[in-house]
């Protein structure tokens, strides 16, 4: 039961931080995600299309619930250790875990990952795009680290 509670609370923190960081970043990066000339047009769904937008909206919560459940489950073996850390170390660990594993060092090539810097076209990893997308990751990870340290342990 402790693990279920941990995972559900993990989801709530993840989802709130994900939405908050995404709303901020979307305002800064509309040209990347929306419009006829959006940078990610070749591989992102068209959110200007009402049908696609509704599809994304329907899948948002279930997809993020699955994501949070998977991310939280891999922490089960070290929960006792994490609970013994100070608030500051819990914040640093959880925030860094999300920033490094979920973004910067993940194996998916994207505008703000090491893999992306290696494999993607220059326009997609241009400094303006890289830092705009990275800002979302930093906001999310910082908020998640704070929320996790405050509520999970």
Q: Tell me what pLDDT residue 30 has.
A: 79
- Residue 38: predicted pLDDT: 85
Mean pLDDT per 10-residue run, the chain (153 residues)? 96 97 88 83 86 94 97 97 97 98 94 96 94 95 98 94
Identify which of 78, 111, 115, 116 has the alpha carbon closest to the alpha carbon of residue 97: 78
Q: Can you give the pLDDT at residue 130?
A: 94
Residues 118-127 have pLDDT tens digits of 999 999 999 9
The per-type count for the chain, helices as H runs and strands as E runs, is 7, 0
Report angle CA 110, 19, 142 to the nearest 5 degrees.
75
What pLDDT shows up at residue 13?
98
The rounded distance, in Å, linking the Cα atoms of 6 and 29 is: 33
Residues 141, 146: Cα–Cα separation, whole Å: 9
> Mean pLDDT across the chain, nearest whole number?
94
């Amino acid at each position: 039961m402790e693990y279920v509670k941990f995972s559900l609370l993990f989801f709530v923190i993840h989802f709130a931080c994900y939405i908050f960081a995404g709303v901020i970043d979307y305002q800064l990066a509309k040209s990347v995600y929306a419009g006829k000339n959006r940078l990610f047009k070749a591989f992102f769904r068209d959110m200007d299309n009402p049908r696609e937008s509704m599809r994304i909206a329907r899948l948002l919560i279930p997809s993020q619930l699955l994501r949070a459940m998977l991310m939280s489950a891999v922490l089960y073996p070290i929960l006792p250790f994490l609970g013994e850390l100070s608030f500051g170390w819990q914040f640093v660990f959880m925030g860094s875990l999300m920033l490094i594993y979920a973004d910067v060092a993940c194996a998916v090539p994207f505008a703000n990952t090491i893999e992306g810097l290696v494999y993607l076209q220059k326009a997609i990893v241009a400094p303006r795009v890289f830092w705009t997308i990275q800002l979302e990751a930093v906001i999310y990870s910082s908020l998640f680290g704070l929320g996790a340290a405050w509520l999970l342990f």
